[in-house]
Amino acid sequence: MGEAGYDGGMSPRKSAAEARRTRERIIERSVAIGSVEGLEGLTIGRLATDLGMSKAGVLGHFGTKQALQLAALHGASGLFTRLVWEPVADLQPGLVRLRAFCEAWIRYLEQERTAFPGGCLFTAASVEFDTRGGPVHDTVARFMLRGRRLLVNDLRIAVEVGELGRGEDPEQLAFELHGLYMGLNQELQLFADATAPARTRRALDRMLGAAPPAGTAPRN
């Protein structure tokens, strides 16, 4: 018996791989739509049309609109991790890694238009769902707090090793930095302000001090 089975059809392995790829395509398109039109703009019919699929084909992967919205958020979180955090994760913890992370975040908001044609999905979703309860609201909040914890971790290290003043409060600085990036996304999307990234870098210099030299060695 061949891998395809007795009926000569598609092998289970290939079928599973194609199902995963179809699911990935649906999520990718959901992230793009959500960044422009919001997560409420996601409909089974819209995705089916955009992807050349049947509604039943889309429903077979997610079943409900809420499941689709949650999958889009998880997909966007994975992209943020890959594009912003992973490239700097092995740098020296503290101010060096923090500044690299902040710079990668600026570039992500300014330049990433393939996956996020309407800007950061989490910023849009945080406004869309901030007064609603439920799983989507909770997932947005959890992912955004996770990003803030990355800031707090390196800010705390920076204070401990003397890169920032002993009187600095890492939680307060992370709060201010997070607000800075929410504002940057708005300036880019609402006002199309091309000067916003440079303004953000100046604000970072005031908050954290001058950026460290490039080429810092990875952590041990």
pLDDT digits (tens, 9 = 90+) for 120-140: 999 999 999 999 989 999 999
Q: Indicate whether 9 belongs to any domain.
A: no
pLDDT for residue 72: 95
pLDDT for residue 59: 87
| DSSP secondary structure, 87-142, as one string | TTTTBPTTHHHHHHHHHHHHHHHHH--SS-TTS-HHHHHHHHSTT--SHHHHHHHH
Q: Indicate whether 135 belongs to any domain.
A: yes
Q: Other C-beta atoms within 10 Å of 75: how many? A: 21
Q: Indicate whether 213 belongs to any domain.
A: no
Q: Indicate whether 44 belongs to any domain.
A: no
pLDDT band at 3 (very low <50, low <70, confident <90, very high): very low
End-to-end CA distance of the chain: 52
Q: Indicate whether 204 belongs to any domain.
A: yes
**What global pTM score does this model have?**
0.83
What CATH number did the domain enclosing 99 receive? 1.10.357.10
| DSSP secondary structure, 155-178, as one string | HHHHHHTTSS-TT--HHHHHHHHH
To the nearest whole percent, how much of the chain has pLDDT over 70? 89
- Calpha distance 76→112 (Å, rounded): 12
pLDDT digits (tens, 9 = 90+) for 159-180: 999 999 999 999 999 999 999 9
> Number of folded domains in the chain?
1
- Calpha distance 177→9 (Å, rounded): 55
- Domain containing residue 153: 66-208
Q: Indicate whether 115 belongs to any domain.
A: yes
pLDDT for residue 212: 53
pLDDT for residue 20: 87
pLDDT for residue 220: 39
Highest mean pLDDT range out of 4-13, 52-61, 145-154?
A: 145-154
Q: Indicate whether 164 belongs to any domain.
A: yes
